[in-house]
Chains A and B, each alone.
Chain A
Amino acid sequence: MTEVTLVQAVNRALRTAMSADPEVLLLGEDIGVNGGVFRATEGLLKDFGADRVIDTPLSETGIVGAAVGMALYGLKPVAEIQFLDFIYPGFDQIVSELAKFRYRSGGQYPCHVVIRSPYGGGIKGGLYHSQSTEAYFAHTAGLKVVVPSTPADAYGLLLSSIFDPDPVIFLEPKRIYRTVTGEVPEGDQRVPIGRARTVREGTDVSVFAYGAMIPPATEACQAAEADGVSAELIDLRTLVPLDAGAVLASVEKTGRAVIVHEAARFCGYGAEIAAILAEKAFFSLKAPIHRVTGFDTPFPYALENLYLPNAARIRQAIVDTVRAG
């Protein structure tokens, strides 16, 4: 075990996968010689060669389309989209092609591609280097959506994603690429897709969050102790498939729910969690469900700290929810 940052864990997982399987290859913009704009692929070109670490022309639809073709042939491509905000030229390839190949071919053409992309705000990235649009992908049948929040999960979940038989959108919380550190194992040690992680246990309220929202949510849960509230924090880790069992079990215990994400509120991923709780855990609820989210605006540059949920807002929501009933 070694202590690394989240982005270093991504790099290590790629290295482990490429060492284990000679048909894992990477493609994307600036990922080879430059090692990726966030250095996630640093050193991989030197060790695995230009055939497996492919600097592509600047075209997201070309990157995803080529990755789809590689996967149809049987390779295991891992495509990097430099920022999630730039994925839309490749969106047609993702939602119309990648997500549907297995289904539309009656299982004849599985299409296993991992698309890694840094997402989220808090890096002074403005409108187009900050968005958190996981709901588009979660809404599309046929895609798995994974969002780690720790180095260990980034490592283990990326390995699971690369060796999963289905397409995976792997969203990396770039705000905490270098601010969280932790131990990661050596070798092919995977974290299963589809299981939430209990960050801390509590009895009064369940807080559901993922990605870069885990650090402020953790801080908020700790701070709420001073308000006499025992908050349980669940890191969803994979949005699709959702670990609905863990969500329901927690709320059946605490009777209250706060959902946190930095994406816009309207039709955000939290709406699905709230709906599931309303449908399946209604009689366990003691108080209205509370969402702490970004705003229904484009992502603002100067006001990003106002836009993004922080520990204070989350703490207030926790306290309000507990006091509501």
Chain B
Amino acid sequence: MSAGFAPLPLPYTAPELERRLGADWSGLLWTAYRWMRTARSLDERMVGLQRQGRVGFYGPATGQEAVSIAAGLAVRENDWVFPGLREQLVALVRGHPLGTYLHHLFADSLDPASGRQMPCHPTAREVRYVSMSSCVGTQVSQAVGCAYGFRFRSDDAVSLAFFGDGATSVSDFHAGMNFAGVFHLPVVFCCTNNQWAISLPVEQQSRVAELAEKAAAYGMPGRRVDGSDFIETYLQLSDALETARQGRGPTLLEFVVYRMSPHSTSDDPSRYQPADWRERSAQHDPVGRMERLLGALGLLSQDLVREMDRQIDATLRDAIAAAERTAPPGPETLERDVFAPAVSAPSAEG
């Protein structure tokens, strides 16, 4: 893959970080780092549980954590998130409880969506995280319609549409980008280009070298961002969110990241990825880069990391155990939520 970035030049200096991220810059970085370690640990555990047959499916976000975490930290409370395949962390960072997410992963009776969807397709209305579809790209035009609503009600919210490199080929990407351009709506289009749509490399997905160039066709700015660099990602997202919030229209951000995992637990990348992909992608690992940055800034100690990991492990272990103890949804839930509960439709079974 030629579209790589040189590893982040380290270190950012502390004064520079304070200027760009504000007075609590170290708190922000620590929060992000904690989420990164949580996410990495969650991915490892869930893949293992899937292999043991204890959950049905899992789609790791390994290698893409910086984008979701940055988004979760950069948005305001009234912003809406229309997720793609690997943005569950946005919901968690915004405050969706990890324990609730585990109930979803186990599709048990305490899943707020009643176990209706495959794992990694959560719904978290309380943090304006929209129910995710497995159909690639449909969320793009939905995010645009939602943003129309913001302006209609004079709500200063912004809509974030997440999607991958593969989604730039589908009709809803085009339709959504075009509508947002025509109506000049407060949307941030977040293309997480992990360079693979299951087995298809991005070079075969699009002729343009940088997916961000597609923005020009819709009359909006497009920027390519090193999505493994939490700081750049956070700053670019904050800037695009502010632009949208001020009524200055949509932006397409292309976050170049490296998919360090299979597409999902149902995938075998050895069939299509070059032998050195793992090694190359590991050089861009956002967690490793954050570690090196924190280390260079003198903010990292083995003791702190050990204590952090101990807490993360305990939290995950408890949440997994609680979910595994919970019964599956009862058969009485099967026909709920097809229509609104007030409806007593005449039925052929009646």
Contact = CB atoms under 8 A, between A and B. Distances in A.
Contact of B338 (A51, A72, A142, A280): A142
A195 B346 CA distance: 8
B135 A92 contact: yes
- Which of A66, A97, A101, A242 lies at the interface centre, i.e. has the most chain B CB atoms within 10 A of its CB? A66
Contacts of A89: 171
A65 B175 contact: yes
Given A105-B113, A108-B125, A61 B339 contact: no
A173 interface: no
B25 interface: no
Interface string B124-152: 01000011010100101111111111101
Interface in B143-191: 143-150, 152, 159, 171-172, 174-176, 178-179, 182
Interface in A74-119: 74-75, 77, 89, 92-93, 96-97, 100-110
A128 to B, nearest CB: 18
A292 B172 CA distance: 39
B125 A51 contact: no
Contact of A104 (B117, B142, B152, B182): B117
A73 B150 contact: yes
B175 A59 contact: yes
Nearest to B82: A69
B343 A165 contact: yes
Nearest to A75: B149
Nearest to B143: A69
A70 B148 contact: yes
B346 A69 contact: no
A194 B345 contact: yes
Contacts of A64: 141
Contact of B116 (A72, A97, A104, A241): A104
B52 interface: no
Contact of A102 (B140, B172, B339, B346): B339
Interface in B333-347: 336-343, 345-347
Interface residues of B, number: 50
Contacts, number: 164
B337 A68 contact: no
A195 B344 CA distance: 12
A244 interface: yes
A195 B343 CA distance: 13
Given A93-B138, A106-B116, A109-B123, A61 B149 contact: no
A108 B350 contact: no
B114 interface: yes
Interface-central residue, A61, A194, A195, A245, by most chain B CB under 10 Å:
A61
Contacts of A25: 152
B133 A62 contact: no
A65 B176 contact: yes
B80 interface: yes
A62 B141 contact: yes
Interface in B15-46: none
Contacts of A127: none
24 contacts: A59-B175, A59-B179, A61-B171, A62-B144, A62-B176, A69-B148, A70-B146, A73-B149, A96-B135, A96-B138, A103-B116, A103-B337, A104-B116, A104-B131, A104-B133, A105-B113, A107-B336, A107-B341, A108-B123, A165-B342, A165-B343, A166-B339, A166-B340, A245-B346
In the A-B complex, list the 7 residue pairs whose CB atoms are closest, starting with the nearest: A69-B145, A65-B141, A62-B175, A66-B145, A241-B345, A73-B149, A106-B113
Interface of B: 80, 82, 111-114, 116-117, 121, 123, 125, 130-131, 133, 135, 138, 140-150, 152, 159, 171-172, 174-176, 178-179, 182, 336-343, 345-348, 350
